[in-house]
Homo-oligomer: A and B are copies of this chain.
Amino acid sequence: MQHDDDILGFTHVTPTASMHVTRHGGRAKCLQRLIRLDMPVPTTVALPFDTVRDIARGQMPQIAAMLSYFGPDALLSVRPSSEDPDWGGPSAILNIGMSETQYEKIVKSAGEETANALYARFIQSYSVHVAHLDADDFDMPKSATRDDVDAALRVYEDEMDEPFPQDIEDQLKAVLRSRAQAWSGTSARLLREAKGAPADAGLGLVVQRMALGVGQGECGSGVIQFANSATGDPQITGRYLSQSQGRDALTEKASAIYLTKDPRGPSFEELCPDQFAELLRFGDLARLRLREEMQIEFTIENGALHILDAVRIGRSSQAAVRIAVALANDDIISKDEAIMRVTPSGLNDVLHRQIDPNAERDLVGVGIAASPGAASGRIVFTSNDAQASAARGEPCVLVRRETSPEDIRGMHVAQAILTVKGGITSHAAVIGRGIGLPCVVGASDLYVSRKKRVLQGADGREFKEGDYITIDGASGHILAGQVPLLEAANDEAVQTLLGWADDVRDIAIRANADTPAEAQMADRFAAEGIGLCRTEHMFFEGDRLTVMREMIFAESEKGRGAVLDRLLPMQRADFEKLFEIMQGKPVCIRLLDPPLHEFLPSDRAGLSALAAALNLPLSDVTARADDLREYNPMLGMRGVRLGIAMPEIYDMQARAIFEATVAAKEKGLVVSPEIMIPLVSAKREVELVKSRMDGVAAAVKAEQNTEFEYSIGVMVETPRAALRAGDIAFNADFLSFGTNDLTQMAYGLSRDDAGRFMSSYVHQGVYPEDPFHTLDTEGVGELLELGAGRARNSRSDIVLSICGEHGGSPSAIDFCRAAGFNYVSCSPFRVPGARLSAAQLVLRDNPEMIIRPPRGKYPMQG
């Protein structure tokens, strides 16, 4: 089939013309839909991508033929029509065709004022945007006079050495050429590529007869939408401005009037009740047939309503959710379509306080976005000061070079955390995400002097203790002062959408939760269990830390045993609480993982205090701390290595788990704990630990004369464990891939040290993405695939999962679905996004599942 395009280089937009978003762009296609709905759209012609490419190369379509569609005296507008409106495009040019001849005609038909306004506006935009002359030279008053027009014409002629073009064909060609060239410029290309456009993205252009909006009778223009952009709730919003064109009603809001009756002043509803009623009908029709909340651009020309354009309304993340759910609830789109219309990151935003997108941002510095959400507070530099601030009822932001377990109390009462050092899994980041506290780490441009109590911004500005700052944990921005925030919302619309997503998705989502508080959060976000409970975090809290330190200083195995006996009831109580909160959902508990020195104070003062507390000479405490110090703690004496060297620690943990299981059973819960062994690199490690765990289980069963089920699995964090998964699987009921450590070891790159160069690395394209944010499917992913395949060969029923930072990301979920994993586990706050992503991936792979609702008499074509 031959299109108009092929012959003429453009298409007259009619209900039956052959038009596609991928050839003519979104705006052109949308206009065709409005025309099909019998809306009063002025005559419109669409230039497809190919034509615009030809124009950029100097080859014009049949302009004379095109003009014949509009009639002799029409003024025209040219608007961009890219495939995705988000990709942007050159500015619109209105009133093409204005010339001395037209001027005279309009003076006669609509008066000199109108003619001056139209001519002045056209000369201005043509000179600046088409001829690229200096905008300052064409600054004209709103009510331009003929003198103003003449002055502008003179400037044009002086600058261009030729008079202002008078022929509409010349004008249109120049406009089209300039639009086409603007699109193919380098900076425009870079800008749209940053928004996800492909390198060869095309631009369409829409040429439309102007409905003037200025002239005799009621003339004007306005914009209307039917839902609130911030909340998504139904609400008629917009403005109308008499004697105006385009989006003037929005840019000159002060003189514009409300659309609906309003006590604050006159309204369009009162001014033009018939046209207003018609607009409402068109709005309903657009929502129903375009299946979207649209913003409609309209013009009143001598009392007659014209619809010039319609675009998806801009919306906050919260509004996106509510609009999608409302459209589905109204049977306008299917639930599956609603799922596809919300981005996981948008959903994530909804669940945290955000900085108001309209707020001004006074940037102090940028760090690594480590825990989402935004908060303002007064700067404090120590955990004690944070507590004091909280006691005074003053919100505070804890600013540290880096945090250690001693800072826990301060972190719990602060509104946000900022550290200058550390990476996405530094202590501050992990705790921040765990307790849902906004956190920015590794802000290496900033300088903190704890002694002087000063935070120095990247630009040298100093902030003193007590000064307000705002932390944006979603972007990593640190802002001066207090900034307006939008509250978090985990409302009915979110719940509804996620319920629909749960019906679709085919992979389970668990949460990483270490404490009862985190487990409650996991439960609130409907995680299907705990995929990773890091028991060490239990030991950093309150009295536990002291007891843990006593164990480290115990002289012998026996001494350690005595201290562990005191830790046992605490651990058991931890697990009892977890089991109770999770109500029989699976809980995967990782045995103690970090090197022992992480439990010791890092500075001299802390060591002194510890020596006093333990009643030991400082030299002994220092010597032991020194002894435990490691060159590369990440690659040191931790995980199962600790478990094998000091088996009584894991024994205690296993006993606590099993005793808690029995206690839960007595409360009527069915609990089958999963015990996970960390940092495995050889099968024998698993054999050794498993046989001791089995022994402890047998002992608890015998002591309490009861039975219970449990499973023992392995956290695959070393490349070797992935490669040897075939051996390891014989002794493991499940394997959970710890993609954080696996990434560190595959790359030979510590997360905590990577901050120093990662952004420049990604910027230079050395790594396409930060592999700690986006699962490296080529390298780390191959280890996962090899490991999963080998494990299944040994044991076909083995349960496979990933846990860690990647767990909640769409790319990792995509990977895990493809590899046939049973579940992913991520931070509680990322669970909703993960549930949504998982559903979207099912729908992406099965587009035939997305069925449009049968309702509606005029389903849209094409």
Instruction: Identify the A interface with B (CB < 8 A).
Output: 630-637, 641, 644-645, 679, 681-682, 684-685, 688, 717-720, 723-724, 741, 744-750, 752-753, 756-757, 760-761, 764-767, 776, 778-780, 782-783
Interchain residue pairs with CB less than 8 A apart (12): A632-B633, A634-B635, A635-B748, A635-B753, A636-B749, A636-B750, A681-B746, A688-B766, A720-B747, A720-B776, A723-B746, A745-B745
- What is the minimal beta-carbon distance from A642 to any residue of chain B, in angstroms? 9
Apart from the given pairs A684-B766, A719-B779, 14 other A-B contacts in the complex at a CB distance below 8 Å: A630-B750, A632-B633, A632-B634, A634-B635, A635-B750, A635-B753, A641-B761, A644-B766, A645-B760, A682-B766, A684-B765, A717-B748, A718-B747, A723-B779
A719 touches B783 (CB 8 A): yes
Q: Kindly state the separation between the CA atoms of A746 and B750 in the bound complex, as whole angstroms.
A: 14
| Known contacts A633-B631, A645-B757; is-contact A746 B766 (Cβ 8 Å) | no
Q: Kindly state the separation between the CA atoms of A719 and B783 in the bound complex, as whole angstroms.
A: 9
| Known contacts A745-B745, A746-B718, A747-B681; is-contact A637 B688 (Cβ 8 Å) | no
Q: Kindly state the separation between the CA atoms of A744 and B749 in the bound complex, as whole angstroms.
A: 12
Residues of B within 8 A of A718 (CB): 746-749
A723 touches B637 (CB 8 A): no
Residues of B within 8 A of A679 (CB): 748
B720 touches A780 (CB 8 A): yes
B719 touches A745 (CB 8 A): yes
Q: Kindly state the separation between the CA atoms of A446 and B504 in the bound complex, as whole angstroms.
A: 63
B748 touches A741 (CB 8 A): yes
- What is the minimal beta-carbon distance from A672 to any residue of chain B, in angstroms? 28
Residues of B within 8 A of A766 (CB): 644, 682, 684-685, 688
Q: Kindly state the separation between the CA atoms of A641 and B757 in the bound complex, as whole angstroms.
A: 8
Partner of A632 from the list B684, B723, B747, B750 (CB cut-off 8 Å) is B750
What are the 3 tightest A-B residue pairs by CB atom distance, in nearest-first order? A635-B750, A632-B750, A720-B779
Q: Kindly state the separation between the CA atoms of A748 and B761 in the bound complex, as whole angstroms.
A: 24
Partner of A635 from the list B637, B744, B780 (CB cut-off 8 Å) is B744
| Known contacts A645-B760, A724-B779; is-contact A630 B753 (Cβ 8 Å) | yes
- What is the minimal beta-carbon distance from A673 to any residue of chain B, in angstroms? 25
Partner of A719 from the list B635, B681, B746, B757 (CB cut-off 8 Å) is B746
Of A630, A688, A719, A744, chain B has the most CB atoms within 10 Å of the CB of A719
| Known contacts A753-B636, A757-B637, A761-B644; is-contact A723 B684 (Cβ 8 Å) | no
Q: Kindly state the separation between the CA atoms of A745 and B750 in the bound complex, as whole angstroms.
A: 11
- What is the minimal beta-carbon distance from A448 to any residue of chain B, in angstroms? 11
- What is the minimal beta-carbon distance from A474 to any residue of chain B, in angstroms? 25
- What is the minimal beta-carbon distance from A691 to any residue of chain B, in angstroms? 12
- What is the minimal beta-carbon distance from A790 to any residue of chain B, in angstroms? 11
Q: Kindly state the separation between the CA atoms of A634 and B630 in the bound complex, as whole angstroms.
A: 11
Q: Kindly state the separation between the CA atoms of A745 and B635 in the bound complex, as whole angstroms.
A: 8
Of A766, A778, A780, chain B has the most CB atoms within 10 Å of the CB of A766
Closest chain B residue, CB of each to CB of A720: B779
Residues of B within 8 A of A684 (CB): 764-767
- What is the minimal beta-carbon distance from A815 to any residue of chain B, in angstroms? 15
Residues of B within 8 A of A720 (CB): 746-748, 776, 779-780
Residues of B within 8 A of A745 (CB): 719, 745-746, 748
Q: Kindly state the separation between the CA atoms of A756 and B626 in the bound complex, as whole angstroms.
A: 13
Q: Kindly state the separation between the CA atoms of A782 and B717 in the bound complex, as whole angstroms.
A: 17
Q: Kindly state the separation between the CA atoms of A741 and B719 in the bound complex, as whole angstroms.
A: 13
- What is the minimal beta-carbon distance from A627 to any residue of chain B, in angstroms? 8
| Known contacts A637-B757, A776-B720; is-contact A681 B782 (Cβ 8 Å) | no
Residues of B within 8 A of A644 (CB): 757, 761, 764, 766
Of A637, A685, A745, chain B has the most CB atoms within 10 Å of the CB of A745
Closest chain B residue, CB of each to CB of A401: B626
Residues of B within 8 A of A633 (CB): 631-632, 753
Closest chain B residue, CB of each to CB of A718: B748
Residues of B within 8 A of A723 (CB): 746, 778-779, 782-783
Closest chain B residue, CB of each to CB of A423: B631
Q: Kindly state the separation between the CA atoms of A688 and B760 in the bound complex, as whole angstroms.
A: 13
- What is the minimal beta-carbon distance from A423 to any residue of chain B, in angstroms? 9
- What is the minimal beta-carbon distance from A813 to any residue of chain B, in angstroms? 22
Q: Kindly state the separation between the CA atoms of A764 and B685 in the bound complex, as whole angstroms.
A: 10
Residues of B within 8 A of A764 (CB): 644, 684, 688
Q: Kindly state the separation between the CA atoms of A750 and B723 in the bound complex, as whole angstroms.
A: 19
| Known contacts A641-B757, A723-B782; is-contact A748 B634 (Cβ 8 Å) | yes
- What is the minimal beta-carbon distance from A763 to any residue of chain B, in angstroms? 11
Closest chain B residue, CB of each to CB of A680: B748
| Known contacts A631-B633, A632-B632; is-contact A681 B641 (Cβ 8 Å) | no
B756 touches A637 (CB 8 A): yes
A749 touches B719 (CB 8 A): no
Q: Kindly state the separation between the CA atoms of A748 and B645 in the bound complex, as whole angstroms.
A: 17
Q: Kindly state the separation between the CA atoms of A681 and B749 in the bound complex, as whole angstroms.
A: 9
Closest chain B residue, CB of each to CB of A683: B766
A753 touches B631 (CB 8 A): yes
B682 touches A767 (CB 8 A): yes
Q: Kindly state the separation between the CA atoms of A630 and B423 in the bound complex, as whole angstroms.
A: 11
A724 touches B631 (CB 8 A): no
B752 touches A632 (CB 8 A): yes
Of A630, A631, A636, chain B has the most CB atoms within 10 Å of the CB of A631
- What is the minimal beta-carbon distance from A697 to any residue of chain B, in angstroms? 22
Q: Kindly state the separation between the CA atoms of A753 and B717 in the bound complex, as whole angstroms.
A: 18
Residues of B within 8 A of A634 (CB): 631-632, 635, 748, 750
Closest chain B residue, CB of each to CB of A640: B766
Residues of B within 8 A of A776 (CB): 720
Residues of B within 8 A of A760 (CB): 645
- What is the minimal beta-carbon distance from A683 to any residue of chain B, in angstroms? 9
Closest chain B residue, CB of each to CB of A641: B757
Residues of B within 8 A of A780 (CB): 720
Q: Kindly state the separation between the CA atoms of A720 and B765 in the bound complex, as whole angstroms.
A: 17
Residues of B within 8 A of A765 (CB): 684
Q: Kindly state the separation between the CA atoms of A684 and B741 in the bound complex, as whole angstroms.
A: 23
Q: Kindly state the separation between the CA atoms of A761 and B642 in the bound complex, as whole angstroms.
A: 11
Q: Kindly state the separation between the CA atoms of A720 and B756 in the bound complex, as whole angstroms.
A: 20
Closest chain B residue, CB of each to CB of A778: B724
Closest chain B residue, CB of each to CB of A755: B637
Q: Kindly state the separation between the CA atoms of A747 and B680 in the bound complex, as whole angstroms.
A: 8
Q: Kindly state the separation between the CA atoms of A717 and B719 in the bound complex, as whole angstroms.
A: 13
Residues of B within 8 A of A744 (CB): 635
